[in-house]
Amino acid sequence: MPSGRQCRFAESVSREGGDTCLENRWSRSQSPGCGDVSDLTFRLTCSSTDGDQRAERRYTTYTSGTRQFQGYFRIVSIGGTRISIKQTFNDGVGAYFILGVEKSGRIYNVKGGGDQKTLSTAATVGNTVRVNTIHRPGGSLQCYINGALKLQFSSPSGGFYDKFGAYRTSSGYGPITIAWSGIRFWRK
């Protein structure tokens, strides 16, 4: 749901203006398995490699226009590895883009834009990292880390929704505690 407040896409990423800011308007939180959500802190408290282990916030589905997500994350603690932190889903189809972190501090694309490319090594414990994604259904998705474009690839048309938090990838496991801040979600 739009907040009705006018704002701009993040200036360091895009100079486009006249956009409606959907600031902190997620549709729901989910925390199945050993997931826990407390405000903008997300925890996976177990090291299970089975089942659905996640703690997340989800935005509503969109089918047109341009959407930009911006958030800052900080790994508070990590005993596991290969944890997804930001996703864009193709509604009814499945994951379209998944951004993940490893215990080493590596940030990589789990899915979307090629085979698991290292986008940064800045996700070490205690370090704050800014993530921006700009998505145009039927156009492209761009992923920026700390203001630098790291990945761009084409997008099919359809319905999409964004999630952020902490979720075990198919080859990952917890525990992890990640704190997000400065969450913004714009539409144009």
Over its length of 188 residues, how does the chain's per-residue pLDDT go in tens digits? 333 344 454 444 443 444 555 545 555 566 668 999 999 999 999 999 988 888 999 888 999 999 999 999 999 999 999 999 999 999 999 999 999 999 999 999 999 877 799 999 999 999 999 999 999 999 999 999 999 999 999 999 999 999 999 999 999 999 999 999 999 888 88
Residue 3 has what pLDDT?
A: 37
- Cβ-contact 123, 107 below 8 angstroms: yes
Residue 146 in any domain: the answer is: yes
**CATH code assigned at 94:** 2.60.120.200
Number of domains in the chain: 1
Inside any domain, residue 4: no
1 within a domain of the structure (yes/no)? no
The predicted pLDDT at position 182 comes to 92
| The predicted structure's pLDDT at residue 12 | 43
At 37 the pLDDT is 92
Is position 15 within any domain? no
Beta bridge partners of 35: 44
- pLDDT for 25 equals 55
Beta strands in the chain (DSSP E): 6-7, 19-21, 28-30, 35-38, 41-44, 54-58, 67-78, 81-90, 94-101, 107-111, 118-120, 128-135, 140-145, 148-154, 160-173, 176-187
In a domain, 136, yes or no: yes
Give the predicted TM-score (pTM) of the model: 0.86
Which pLDDT value is given to residue 103?
97
29 located within any domain: yes
What is the per-residue pLDDT for 32?
Answer: 66
Among 160, 146, 153, smallest CA distance to 71 is for 146
- Please give the residue range of the domain that contains residue 49: 24-187
Question: Is the residue at 38 inside a domain?
Answer: yes
Is 10 domain-assigned?
no
What's the pLDDT score for residue 59? 87
